[in-house]
A and B are shown apart, each in its own frame.
Chain A
Amino acid sequence: MSTKGNSVNIDVNPDVYKHDWQWKEGEYTVTRSTQWTGPGCHNGCGLLYYTKDDKLVKVEGDPYAPFNQGRLCMRCINLPEAVNHADRLKWPLKRIGERGENKWQRISWDEAYDLIVEKVKRIQKDFGPETIVGMEGTGRNICWQVPLLTYAGFGSPNFAMGFLSGDSCMVPRTSISFCVLGDLSVVDCSQFRDVRYDDPEWVVPETILVWGNNTIVSNPDGFFGHWIVDCMQRGSKLIVIDPQLTWLASRAEIWLQVRPGTDTAIAMAMMNVIIEEGLYDQDYVEKWCYGFEQLAERVKTMTPAKAAEISWVTKELIIEAARMFAQSKPGALQWGLATDMSVNGIPQAHALMCLNAICGNYETTGGNVMAREPWYMNLAYQVGYFDFLTEEMREKRIGDDVSPMHQFGTFSSTAQGDAILKAIESGKPYPIKMLWFQTTNPIANMGAEAPRVYDAIKSVDFVVVVDLFMTPTAVAAADLVLPAAMSCERNGLRTWWSPLRSSVQLTQYEECKSDETIVLELCNRLNPENCNWMDDIDLLNWRLEEGQAPVKDFTELVQKVHVWPDHHYRRHEKGLLRPDGEPGFNTPTGKIELYCTTLESFGNDPLPYYEEPPESPITTPELFKQYPLVLTTGHRSFEFFHSEHRQQKTMREFHPYPLVDIHPETAERYGISEGDWVWIENMRGRCRQKARLTATMDHRVINAEHGWWFPEEEGAEPSLFGVFNSNINNLTTQCVTGPTGYGAPYKNQICRIYKATEENSKVMPGEQVTRMGGFKYVRK
């Protein structure tokens, strides 16, 4: 089952590249596999590992992987540098100094497990299993493993995604998608069939609406970003909504330079135009959409003129974009993380789905298709939840009282990061006694209000970190640090979305273990009646069997590398989306719910609405005089994935410092030149990054990088690898979310900037946070 037509790398030499899973090339063993682990992104590209004497020597893209068709991004090409890096964690380490001193003692795995088991048992007995929280970072192949450990091993309902405020990465979008569409949709770049662009049934999207997303850099959630470029080369036109001119925006027919956080106003105004001018797909709306009249009423309140005033995009451009999108057959919507990162995130995602729906673009070829895990391989964040916990224990999950949507979210069953933070701080509803961090580095990265998260994690009795390198989070808070294996050192499987793929262990680095192995070995010791897998392969076989995947076992999957399920278009017409086999979408009304009955039943607004960011020129005009710039953050760069890759010298050659994008006029106003260190500051704190002047920003907006720390700097406090000095999360907030508990304003803050001088750099943020009680403000 391999690809035939390869539209990117045509004429691959079959004497060199084989369809087998493994062969010899000179002195190397070549293995076809998948990369879907740290360090690197969510995608699961197919690659060829070149190994020799138990060592990874080089990596090539697998031309027979239909997903990436031989291509790789910087991060995977540079994998050998990561895998063979001398600074990697090599064996379990136990803290011997105080927290923050960065003093460790090597111990064996057995000693580490014994220590964990002893602590866990004592905490379970004295305080209850629920006081143990399992956390993970970005969702790679830890996203069913950590819940498994939390539920089956610790016996706690509290699995959470780091301290990500408002769960603002994909989860808001996914949860509302399940309510409105009954599924989660992605742009159809023919990624669901192995023949890819040669599929005779596939048509190229006429227009792709790229909303808040620079796909070529960010490779969003199982979507290979350059597929958009493939479509462009085959004729797709673009409309791009972004505060900054991305390369995609430079190639777009229309670029809407939005004020961060105001996207919903634009989406509603576009619908206003499309409905007023009768450009919507009347047939599709009649047959497949619910609540069109109410939506039409609602969007009347958002005229293009009003949206223009709110969003800083001209009325003419909004109208033009609306007409162009509505008249494209098919149109497609590519949305990004920006959708989740505002308190208006849920209504924004809802608005975007309505916009796409009234243009008739769901389940059409070249439009948006409902993405599903192959077979029943539901390996998202909810594995084992219902099986391993009693009803009584499930009800103790922290954050369920935030909103019914949070409680009943269908995609994720997670405790809310903000609520966990508050529980640590207040001891309510009960104290938190243990934190388990598996490849998450919240004070460098996903935790907004990083100094506050730092205080919280330091105060918890027992903290374990599993990671690839010694991180700022580990030095600050860990009692025990465990070394995780990288890609070619572990057996794993990958869905999210099609196809089902394998990754296979080829080498062993020191005493590192795969996340699967750590989870099951610990589960085995903690709760053998729940978890009696022999080893990682046994565990994977269990997943394959549960999912009814069409392979005998993991060994067969390894040899097949990729396994493709069938794919059909227009499944809503054929009764293929609903469990009852009726035509329609998998929602209560069987239709796409423009008027969302699920939101209504939760007591939330059933229609899209616009809400200002909590701190903005309009919401807080007085504060804005002091902090007269809009701050957006969190955009990606080619070299890094979140806080990873900073220790690779090749990546740092390309990108040595954190960069803040500033319009030249703004820079001039504040006496800032290209390459100056600049302080970025607001009510909560400050950090410094280097100025990059670019005329493509609105002069009222600056764009700062996230995820920075400096592995080359001192690890012990007050430095913590310099993590607070350039940390944009000194400025963002925790516990300020949308009414559903989803969505937080990471990307729409306010700030001021000034040039860093010796005088104003005497007390650096690291010192301020770790030695002087932090920045002075009242925490919400």
Chain B
Amino acid sequence: MSANKIGFGLLINYEFCTGCHVCEIACKKELDLPVGQWGIKVLQDGPRKMANGKWEYNFLPMPTSLCDLCAERIKMGKKPTCVHHCQAGIMTYGPLEELVQKMTENPKTVLFAPR
């Protein structure tokens, strides 16, 4: 089945995204992207101090319009390279229904359905 049809996506548990840039560089290599282009971009919120004295400091990797959900790799029976290499192990690829189910088990998750 072609992966980049609606129906598949990436689930990301951003509580543990460390901002290590691995998904970004792995994707760049997979899609052979030039300087300035990204298939996934890690966005940053904070660090900023909140009223309770704690720090808010989050990273959120966002697939761009160039993400094809690693169609070539999926065809070969591999995982997307960002998922395979994510150092925190927080990205999951799969059918959206399954991922939605998983979302209910973990707080601080987002689901992307790039196309």
**A interface vs B, CB < 8 Å?**
7-9, 13, 15-16, 25, 58, 60-61, 63, 69-74, 77-78, 80, 216-217, 225-226, 229-230, 232-233, 245, 247, 249-250, 255, 638-639, 649-650, 653-654, 694-696
Contact = CB atoms under 8 A, between A and B. Distances in A.
B77 A9 contact: no
Which of B24, B84, B87 has the most CB atoms of chain A within a 10 A radius of its CB? B87
A249 B49 CA distance: 13
Contacts, number: 98
Given A8-B89, A9-B89, A649 B35 contact: yes
Contacts of A77: 22, 25-26, 29, 85
Contacts of B29: 58, 77-78, 80
Which label, helix, strand, loop or mixed, suits the secondary structure of the B interface? mixed
A114 B89 CA distance: 52
B32 to A, nearest CB: 10
Interface in B40-55: 46-49, 55
B87 A229 contact: yes
A476 to B, nearest CB: 31
Contacts of B20: 73-74, 216-217, 226, 638
A152 B39 CA distance: 52
A70 B78 contact: no
A16 B21 CA distance: 25
Contact of A73 (B22, B28, B48): B22
A71 B87 contact: yes
A697 B57 CA distance: 14
Interface string B68-86: 0000000011110100111
12 contacts: A7-B89, A61-B85, A63-B84, A73-B20, A74-B20, A77-B29, A80-B29, A226-B89, A233-B89, A245-B57, A250-B57, A696-B47
Question: Which of A61, A77, A226, A639 lies at the interface centre, i.e. has the most chain B CB atoms within 10 A of its CB?
Answer: A77
B78 to A, nearest CB: 6
Contact of A74 (B22, B59, B84): B22
A71 B77 contact: no
Contacts of B28: 650
A242 to B, nearest CB: 12
Given A74-B20, A77-B22, A695-B47, A229 B88 contact: yes
Q: Which 8 pairs of residues, A with B, have the shortest CB-CB distance?
A: A250-B57, A8-B89, A226-B87, A13-B77, A216-B18, A250-B55, A16-B77, A229-B88
Contacts of B21: 74, 638-639, 654
A74 B87 CA distance: 10
A61 to B, nearest CB: 6
Given A60-B84, A74-B22, 5 more contacts: A9-B84, A72-B22, A72-B85, A226-B87, A695-B49
Given A9-B89, A71-B85, A15 B19 contact: no
B47 A71 contact: no
A401 to B, nearest CB: 45
Greatest chain A CB density within 10 A among B19, B36, B88 is at B88
B16 interface: yes
